[in-house]
Amino acid sequence: MEDKYISAAVINRLPRYYRYLGDMITQGIERVSSYELSERMRVTASQIRQDFNNFGGFGQQGYGYNVKYLHDEIGKILGLNVKHNLIIIGAGNIGKAIANYQGFESRGFHFRCFFDCNPDLCNTKAVGLDVHPMEELPEYLRNNKIDIAVLTVPRAAAQKTAEIVIENGVKGIWNFAHYDLKVPADVKVQNVHLSDSIMRLSYELKNTHN
């Protein structure tokens, strides 16, 4: 069913459903109606039903959805049943924070090592992972199947670094550099542009105080 066109807005909401359903599993909740889920998530029940109908509806029967089934199905849609191998380029604070983040490993995101151009960091460990010199990146990628490169390099180095990983077969880039990468159509990029986020907050505060 993944072949039919699903809007980006629906896809963008899936991780949030997944997160709430995971919390409900932790809380021992076995079934949930779209109304209850809508109360928790502060979206309308009709939105939830519409979103889920994109994927066949997830078999709501009698009293609502089976939480575990729904969680697992959304996980599969998100590709979380597949193991992803990742490298982090840039062993600074953001890179270390990501490698340390709770819950990535259990969702199949497996961080293999860091790369960094700082000779003081190379051949040391960062949060338990090896830090390799940047010069070794192309050879490493040829010898290891890496699905996602996490870019936490300065923005001036971002495009060049992206090109190296793409040339060596990486199809996914999680980009923390504050730069919109130019990549071929078969390469997928997700950006985390922190300044854009704080500027939106600044806008909202300004318009509250007016």
x/- map, 112-131, a copy of itself, by CB under 8 A = ---------------x----
Separation in Å, CA 177 to CA 60, 161, 191, 195, 205:
42, 11, 8, 10, 25
| 209 counts as binding a copy of itself under rule CB under 8 A | yes
Please choose, from the candidates 140, 137, 158, 180, the residue with its C-alpha nearest in 3D space to the C-alpha of residue 94: 158
Contact with a copy of itself (CB under 8 A) among 115, 153, 174, 177 = 174
Amino acid at 10: V
Please choose, from the candidates 202, 118, 78, the residue with its C-alpha nearest in 3D space to the C-alpha of residue 70: 78
Provide the minimum distance between the beta carbon of 206 and a copy of itself in the complex, in angstroms, as a whole number.
Answer: 3
| DSSP label at residue 37 | H
Contact with a copy of itself (CB under 8 A) among 30, 138, 169, 188 = 188
Contact with a copy of itself (CB under 8 A) among 104, 159, 181, 183 = 104
Q: What is the bridge-based pairing of β-strands 84-89 and 65-66?
A: unpaired
Provide the minimum distance between the beta carbon of 61 and a copy of itself in the complex, in angstroms, as a whole number.
Answer: 26
| 193 counts as binding a copy of itself under rule CB under 8 A | yes
Provide the minimum distance between the beta carbon of 11 and a copy of itself in the complex, in angstroms, as a whole number.
Answer: 6
| 96 counts as binding a copy of itself under rule CB under 8 A | yes
Which residues have a Cβ under 8 Å from the Cβ of 2 and sit 6 or more positions away?
Answer: 77
How many residues touch a copy of itself (CB under 8 A)? 63
Burial class (CB in 10 A: 0-12, 13-18, 19+), 65: buried
Q: Say how many residues make up the chain.
A: 210
| 25 counts as binding a copy of itself under rule CB under 8 A | no
Q: What is the bridge-based pairing of β-strands 125-126 and 129-133?
A: antiparallel
Residues that bind a copy of itself (CB under 8 A): 2-3, 11-12, 14-16, 18-19, 41-42, 77-80, 82, 84, 92-94, 96-98, 100-104, 107-109, 127, 147-148, 154, 171-172, 174, 178, 180, 186, 188-190, 192-210
